[in-house]
A and B are shown apart, each in its own frame.
Chain A
């Protein structure tokens, strides 16, 4: 099956810092989503981004499908950004999501 790798596995940031999270995938996909899992376990949809660039407030994402990677940018990080960020993909003709291992982010005040 498709492999999804995220880096870095852990990230500690000072409040106000910027960061980039990476997601590499091993095969062509027709869907890529970024999620934030908060400390209570809820997964929050950040982006549906099979290709191109999107921005939502302090967050933005870029997916380069031909090179099989996606980036999530967090700017001016806040303590509420802490949690685990997952990317997940599904292959063409399928709807099952395969999750990466996640990046655990801690933003310190």
Chain B
């Protein structure tokens, strides 16, 4: 139980294009989803908190116009990297927070999306 999926698992794109990453909670409802970025051999850094039906809350230093987040339902959040540049190449990971039933505030993580911008 508590499975989170991400799509795509990896993507290669040209500089200047936009890339959309989907995060789905498969067997539970999540009012809150989180987006993280991880550079090689580093820890996870929180980018933004996404609440269903409201605007995302971005961490300091994260450009909200560049990383567009939409959380339209209790099982789906999307992250769009707009006008991607090589420095946006990274491993993007989402997580979902269980709202009821299981241990509250436990976050379950998706498998991640590797983005390479050429």
* A residues in contact (CB < 8 Å) with B: 30-31, 33, 35, 40-43, 45, 48, 86, 88, 90, 95-102, 104
Contacts and interface: CB of A to CB of B under 8 A. Distances in A.
Given A86-B44, A102-B43, A48 B49 contact: no
Given A100-B43, A101-B43, A41 B93 contact: yes
A42 B32 contact: no
Given A40-B111, A42-B112, A99 B34 contact: no
Interface in B96-118: 97, 103, 105-109, 111-112, 114
Contact of A95 (B32, B103, B109, B114): B32
Top 10 A-B pairs, shortest CB-CB distance: A43-B109, A41-B112, A99-B43, A99-B44, A42-B111, A48-B106, A48-B103, A31-B105, A101-B43, A95-B105
Interface residues of B, number: 24
Given A35-B109, A42-B109, A97 B34 contact: yes
A33 B109 contact: no
A36 to B, nearest CB: 11
A90 to B, nearest CB: 7
